[in-house]
Amino acid sequence: MKEMNQTTLRRLISVGLLAILIALFTAMVGAGSGKFLNAENLMAIVRDASVPGIIGVGVTYVIITSGIDLSTGSMIALVGMVMANVYAYTLLPIPVMILTGILAGLLCGFFNGFIVAKLEIPEFIGTLATMSVFRALAYIIAIKDANGVIMSQPMNVSQYAFLGSTIGGSSKGIPYVCVALVIFVVVGQIVLRYTRFGTNLYAVGANKKAATLSGINVERIRMMAFVITGFCTAVGAVFTTARLQSATTALGTDFEFSPIAAAVVGGVALSGGSGDVVGTLIGALFMATLENGVRKLDMNTAYQYVIKGVIIICVVMFDAVYKKRMDRIAKEKGAKEGLE
Amino acid sequence: MKKIIATALCLMMAGSLMVGCGGEKTTREDAGGGTATAAAAGGESNKVTVDPYSGDQVKIAYVAHDLGTPNNQGWKEGIERECASWDNIKVDSYNAESSAETQVQIMSDVISQKYNAIILQCSDGTALAPSVKQAEEAGIPVITVNLDADTVHSALVMAVDYDAGRMAAEQMAKDIGESGEIAIIQGVPGLKRTDNLEKGFRDTIANYSGIEIVDAQSASFEKETAITVMNSFLQSHPNLKGVFAINDAMAEGAALAAESAGKKGQLSIWGADGEKDALAMIESGDMTGTIYTNSWDEGSTAAKIALLMIGSEYSYNVLEKTPQVIMEPIVVTKDNVASIPEEDRW
């Protein structure tokens, strides 16, 4: 019961910070101008948060087990390229093409899980290595012209491109990717909170040895977290390439930190064992709001980066102070109970 | 069970790879129409015209690929200079940080903010095509700079690409006496401009039977990476006589690497763009030459076209292909580098 109250409090704080950020930008951009606070722009923010949010579901699982996945950006490129190959060289129907892409993502995730959990290579180095490997594979299978120069492959048939647009196709509709985001977050949160697998993720993250001793197959849990990340990343890649109506080897460059940042800002501790998917969703929305709002401030780009950096530091610092306080309260309580 | 699934996944992947390597490219039929069909030619003009030269409030968005590069700064400066004399014209610059995904997000933002015109350097012409089309359909003229979009739009202002490669190849052939080993330092693959530059260079070199292109590696447009690439060229090909880098930053890196290998002035090192640092290195004899384009002029040309488009009732849907404005290239070597005045160096 007490633990529940704490998470509720943490959630309220996250939502509060997001609200403060929105209020701040509304005021700074000019409340009267309606440039920031309008339905169209808020929908654009949710849309921009969607791909990091979807991939963030998997990344949250990995971080909860105290791992990290740096390869998601390159994975987007590889999944995109696998689909581009099916698109360019076969006449297989679009759903089969998407399925092939998803399988590629699962395989990438499986590979990550294998080297991290089975071969016991530290996550940071292991996924840093696969980040290069996946990118390189994307280059190898890339579509090339007669001179061997890599080309961007258009994927613009409407049976596919509609995924990148909105329901009904009008610019004011709800983008499909946002619907996918909602599904992923709801399912991801339910799995995390109400299944044995979810509980095991926390157990592994909190203390691997204790988890092993209590009969949890730690290896399998960690592997599963990476496979799920692969799946989420593949879905993210489908929506990204559908929106761009094309695939290139440059897809997802520098993307890998977006879902990680979303998770951390949303209260998922990099040390593992805490946080949840809804937190990551709020984090993703926070980052997208920041990105969108700063762009509208009529400011030199260099200062935009400074503002972004300072706000992120403030949020994470706030989180650290909050955690310290919570730890102290817990300790004091423990001491009191010990005296009694 | 797990193993079976894993094997099946492997086979699927391998299958799709093989498909990618072997087959002929196929053409897909569009069943639904809608997103991919072009706007009907000759339709009603969708333009809302305002006159920027008679005091109407006008705002122009410049959406750059990477604002950190001298080229992008040069264009930005050119655009801002062009508009500086009018108080009613406002220019906002956006940085896509070298990512097509970010650029697409910025584009939809800029369209919903109802800018009067967009000057865009496409990170990826294919990926940006839907956004460019969306802007044009909303009545916002899009002027691309150097990197084209794969859809018909108001205008493309570009420095020569294929011909710049050709000119560099001809000059280098002359430098090295039409025989010997040379190498290419490539940019990020998949960009039309740089691919064309390389193609122009390769096609021209093919005319000289004595010259052999022994290596080609990417240095991602970056000076530091080019130093590493050049070092590996020098080690694996000790007889290397010339290097062509797709942009000046990489040519500068190659020149630095050649200098530290004790080969200053012995190699023919060519770049393309003509940025300030490269011109200085040509003056000092580190670099052999470059194909110079005036970026400030290019930026201000793009801005002029934007203002013209904003003020006219002319709409993109009468166009069959994108009109092009091509900037004059100048072959710069040590002999004529002094003729480029300080105020034209960006």
pLDDT of residue B16 exceeding 70, the answer is no
Compare CB distances from B127 to A157, A244, A301 and report the shortest one's residue: A244
Question: Which of A41-50, A195-204, B10-19, B191-200 comes out lowest in average pLDDT?
Answer: B10-19
pLDDT at residue B190 in the model: 67
**CB of A265 closer than 8 Å to CB of A312:** yes
Q: Do B26 and A89 touch (CB under 8 A)?
A: yes
- Tell me: do A141 and A49 sit in the same domain: yes
Query: Which letter, b or e, does each residue of B38-75 get, where b requires 16 or more Cβ atoms within 10 Å of its Cβ?
Result: ebeeeeeeebeeeebeeeeebbbbbbbbebebbbbbbb
Q: Is A86 on the interface with B (CB under 8 A)?
A: yes
Please state, in angstroms and rounded to a whole number, the distance separating the CA atoms of residues A236 and A233. Answer: 5
**A184 or B70: which leads in pLDDT:** A184
pLDDT at residue B305 in the model: 92
Contacts of A125 (CB under 8 A, 6+ apart): none
pLDDT at residue B343 in the model: 80
Give per-residue pLDDT as tens, B95-116. 888 888 999 999 999 998 889 9
Query: Closest Cα to residue B271, out of B261, B262, B256, B263?
Result: B256
Residues 122-141 of B with CB under 8 A from A: 123-130, 134
The alpha helices in A214-300, defined as continuous H runs, are: 218-244, 257-265, 277-295
Q: Where are the beta strands (DSSP E) in chain B?
A: 58-64, 89-95, 117-120, 142-145, 155-159, 180-186, 211-218, 240-245, 268-273, 289-292, 324-327, 330-333
Query: Closest Cα to residue A250, out of B66, B157, B346?
Result: B66
pLDDT of residue B24 exceeding 80, the answer is no
- Tell me: do A313 and A243 sit in the same domain: no
**CB of B56 closer than 8 Å to CB of B50:** yes
CA distance A182 to chain B (A): 20
Coil/strand/helix, residue B325: strand
Please state, in angstroms and rounded to a whole number, the distance separating the CA atoms of residues A274 and A271. Answer: 8
Please list every residue in chain B whose beta carbon sits closer than 8 Å to the beta carbon of residue A149.
189-190, 195, 198-199
Matching residue, tokens 């202002």 = B157
Please list every residue in chain B whose beta carbon sits closer than 8 Å to the beta carbon of residue A79.
none
Matching residue, tokens 């061997």 = A148
Domain, as residue range, for A215: 43-296
- Tell me: do A193 and A320 sit in the same domain: no
**Mean pLDDT taken over chain B:** 84
pLDDT at residue B3 in the model: 56
Name the superfamily (CATH) of residues B52-159+295-327: Response regulator (3.40.50.2300)
A188 within a domain of the structure (yes/no) = yes
Please state, in angstroms and rounded to a whole number, the distance separating the CA atoms of residues A326 and A9. Answer: 11
A163 within a domain of the structure (yes/no) = yes
Q: Residue B18's pLDDT band (boundaries 50, 70, 90)?
A: very low
pLDDT of residue B41 exceeding 60, the answer is no
- Tell me: do A206 and A113 sit in the same domain: yes
CA distance B127 to chain A (A): 4
| B-chain residue closest to A86, CA distance | B16
A17 within a domain of the structure (yes/no) = no
- Tell me: do A161 and A238 sit in the same domain: yes
Among A41, A83, A85, the residue to mutate for chain B (most B Cβ within 10 A): A85
Please give the tally of structural domains in chain A: 2
For helices B223-236 and B248-260, give the axis angle rounded to 10 degrees. 50
A24 within a domain of the structure (yes/no) = no
A34 within a domain of the structure (yes/no) = no
A146 within a domain of the structure (yes/no) = yes
- Tell me: do A248 and A139 sit in the same domain: yes
- Written as six digits, the tokens of B16 are 């799709």
A27 within a domain of the structure (yes/no) = no
Compare CB distances from A248 to B108, B124, B134 and report the shortest one's residue: B124
- A246, containing H or E segment: strand A246-247
Q: Is B235 on the interface with A (CB under 8 A)?
A: no
pLDDT at residue B270 in the model: 94
Matching residue, tokens 């859809």 = B151
Q: How many alpha carbons lie under 13 Å from residue A241 in its C-beta half-sphere? A: 36
pLDDT at residue A104 in the model: 97
- Tell me: do A249 and A277 sit in the same domain: yes
Q: Give the helix, strand, coil percentages of chain A, each rounded to 5.
A: 75, 0, 25
pLDDT of residue B46 exceeding 70, the answer is no
Query: Which letter, b or e, does each residue of B182-214 get, where b requires 16 or more Cβ atoms within 10 Å of its Cβ?
Result: bbbbbbbbbbbbbbbbbbbbbebbeebeebeee
Among B2, B17, B28, B202, the residue to mutate for chain A (most A Cβ within 10 A): B28
CA distance B16 to chain A (A): 7
Q: Do A159 and B125 touch (CB under 8 A)?
A: no
Domain residue spans of chain B:
52-159+295-327, 162-292
Q: Do A85 and B125 touch (CB under 8 A)?
A: no
Please list every residue in chain A whose beta carbon sits closer than 8 Å to the beta carbon of residue B19.
85-86, 89-90
Q: Do B189 and A48 touch (CB under 8 A)?
A: no
Please list every residue in chain B whose beta carbon sits closer than 8 Å to the beta carbon of residue A163.
none
Among B1, B16, B115, the residue to mutate for chain A (most A Cβ within 10 A): B16
Give per-residue pLDDT as tens, B139-171. 899 999 988 888 999 999 988 888 899 999 999
Q: How far is CA A277 from the centre of its chain?
A: 10
Please state, in angstroms and rounded to a whole number, the distance separating the CA atoms of residues A220 and B313. Answer: 65
Q: Do B26 and A244 touch (CB under 8 A)?
A: no
Please state, in angstroms and rounded to a whole number, the distance separating the CA atoms of residues B244 and B197. Answer: 10
Beta bridge partners of B258: none
Q: Residue B37's pLDDT band (boundaries 50, 70, 90)?
A: very low
pLDDT of residue B7 exceeding 70, the answer is no
pLDDT at residue A2 in the model: 46
- DSSP 8-state class, residue A152: P
Count of residues making up chain B: 346
Compare CB distances from B9 to A85, A89, A103 and report the shortest one's residue: A103
- Tell me: do A172 and A319 sit in the same domain: no
Per-residue pLDDT 10s for chain A (340 aa) are 445 566 777 888 889 989 999 998 888 887 667 778 888 889 999 999 999 999 999 999 999 999 999 999 999 999 999 999 999 999 999 999 999 999 999 999 999 999 999 999 999 999 999 999 999 999 899 888 776 677 788 888 889 989 988 888 777 789 999 999 999 999 999 999 999 999 999 999 999 999 999 999 999 999 999 999 999 999 999 999 999 988 988 888 889 999 999 999 988 988 888 899 999 999 999 999 998 888 888 777 778 888 888 888 888 888 788 878 878 887 887 777 766 5
Name the phi and psi angles at B245, rounded to 5.
-105, 140
Coil/strand/helix, residue A165: coil
pLDDT of residue B35 exceeding 50, the answer is no
Q: Do B198 and A100 touch (CB under 8 A)?
A: no
**CB of A201 closer than 8 Å to CB of A221:** yes
Which CATH number covers residue A205?
Answer: 1.10.3470
Strand order in the sheet with B180-186: B211-218, B180-186, B240-245, B268-273, B289-292, B330-333
Q: What is the 3-state secondary structure (H, E, C) of A93-104?
A: CHHHHHHHHHHH
A11 within a domain of the structure (yes/no) = no
Q: Do A169 and B10 touch (CB under 8 A)?
A: no
- Tell me: do A145 and A193 sit in the same domain: yes
- Tell me: do A149 and A191 sit in the same domain: yes
Q: Residue B212's pLDDT band (boundaries 50, 70, 90)?
A: very high
Compare CB distances from B189 to A150, A169, A291 and report the shortest one's residue: A150
pLDDT at residue B71 in the model: 84
Query: Closest Cα to residue A110, out of A189, A222, A7?
Result: A222
- Tell me: do A222 and A287 sit in the same domain: yes
Q: Is B97 on the interface with A (CB under 8 A)?
A: yes
**CB of A180 closer than 8 Å to CB of A235:** yes
Coil/strand/helix, residue B115: coil
Q: Where are the beta strands (DSSP E) in B50-168?
A: 58-64, 89-95, 117-120, 142-145, 155-159
**CB of A11 closer than 8 Å to CB of A279:** yes
Q: Kindly report the CATH class assigned to B162-292.
A: alpha beta
CA distance B234 to chain A (A): 24
